[in-house]
Amino acid sequence: MPAIRETNFHLPGQTAFYRGKVRDVYTVGERLVMVASDRISAFDHVLPRAIPYKGAVLNQIAAHFLEATRDICPNWLIAAPDPNVAIGHRCEPLRVEMVIRGYLAGHAARTYASGLRTLCGVTLPEGMRENDAFPEPIITPTTKADAGHDEDISREEILRQGIVSADDYAQMEAYTRALFRRGTEMAARQGLILVDTKYEFGKKDGRVLLMDEIHTPDSSRYFYAEGYAERQAHGEKQRQLSKEFVREWLIAHGFQGKDGQQMPDMPDAFVEEITARYIELFERVTGRKFEKDASEEPLARIERQILRAL
């Protein structure tokens, strides 16, 4: 199976290029061309092997949800001319990621297990178990880092430091809650629970716009709704569709992104399992069958589709 590790296009009118953990981003005038590669990251490190079809899954899920939430929040997307490509408006990023959590899972669960009862200025209830639902979803923002780890931060500290204005933060918070409600409803129709997710926003022409991806397995965690209550009652692990199983595999092999730790080798069988899980999530979340495009060399296809769209 082909895997797209990186792209190195030279597009007409291109003025800038940026390679993120997963996306290669080309600036062409007032538009951004984002190519979702098959790179995968965990603990703020890009893993050594790319995952076939992962980029196409991410890009198509994001486009699906961006189109399904335009009535709630304006977003950056103009077109998705290729399974791996999104073209949209260039915005000035707001340097905060809006993380919203409906359940005590992942980072929140690890924080809770350490004995802390406050996360990003939000007080966590006593007596919770991992994967319990919060009484209502909580917003736990992080600062958006260009490199390295994003840092937890409270609403009060964001405003005190002037990272974003009070008006912009209030708008981001309102959009975050509304988007999470819509994502929760859409997941429920597919037999899934949207556990937590994050949103990134920017500004264009004075308006706050939703940017980047939403409700993908890289930015979100999903549980299977069927059997959730029973597993929780018996203290069993929840069945989930997310990138958490990759983190768990890395932890089991002695890697959490800390200094001095060695990134483990990923065997072929595990890479194939990741591909299968991403495709399963696409089909469960969207209700559509994932189509593998192996008709030609993927980089040639992607470049041709971008040039046609521009």
Degrees to nearest 5, angle at CA 42 with 210 and 232: 85
Q: What is the DSSP letter of 174?
A: H
Q: What would you report as the CA-atom Rg of the chain, rounded to the nearest whole angstrom?
A: 19
pLDDT given at position 159: 97
**Domain segments of the chain: what residues?**
14-90+267-309, 92-242
Residue 245: per-residue pLDDT: 87
Q: What is the pLDDT of residue 243?
A: 83
CATH number of 92-242: 3.30.470.20
* 41, two tokens: 């990251």
Tokens of 76: 């950056």
Report whether pLDDT(304) > 80: yes
Q: With 90 as the cut, is the pLDDT of residue 218 above it? A: no
Q: How far, in Å, CA of 38 to CA of 12, rounded?
A: 24
The stretches of 190-297 forming alpha helices (DSSP H) are 228-233, 244-252, 268-286
Averaged pLDDT, 155-183 = 97
Output b/e per residue, 53-82; b: 16+ Cβ within 10 A.
bbbbbbbbbbbbbbeebeeebebbbeebbb
pLDDT tens digits along 124-151:
999 999 999 999 999 999 997 655 567 9
pTM value?
0.89
**Mean pLDDT, residues 184-201 taken together:** 96
Look at residue 209 and tell me whether its pLDDT is greater than 80.
Answer: yes
Kindly indicate whether the domain formed by 14-90+267-309 is annotated with CATH number 3.40.50.920: no
Strands 31-36 and 23-28, bridge-based pairing: antiparallel
- Please give the Cα distance from 209 to 160 (Å, whole number): 23
Instruction: Tell me 54's DSSP state.
Output: H
Overall average pLDDT of the 168-182 stretch: 98
CA distance 240 to 224: 6
CA 80 – CA 86 distance, rounded (Å): 4
Amino acid at 267: P
Q: Which neighbouring-strand residues pair with 32?
A: 27, 88
Reference 140, options 148, 128, 150; nearest CA is 150
Do the beta carbons of residue 177 and residue 100 sit within 8 Å?
A: yes
pLDDT at 231 > cutoff 60: yes
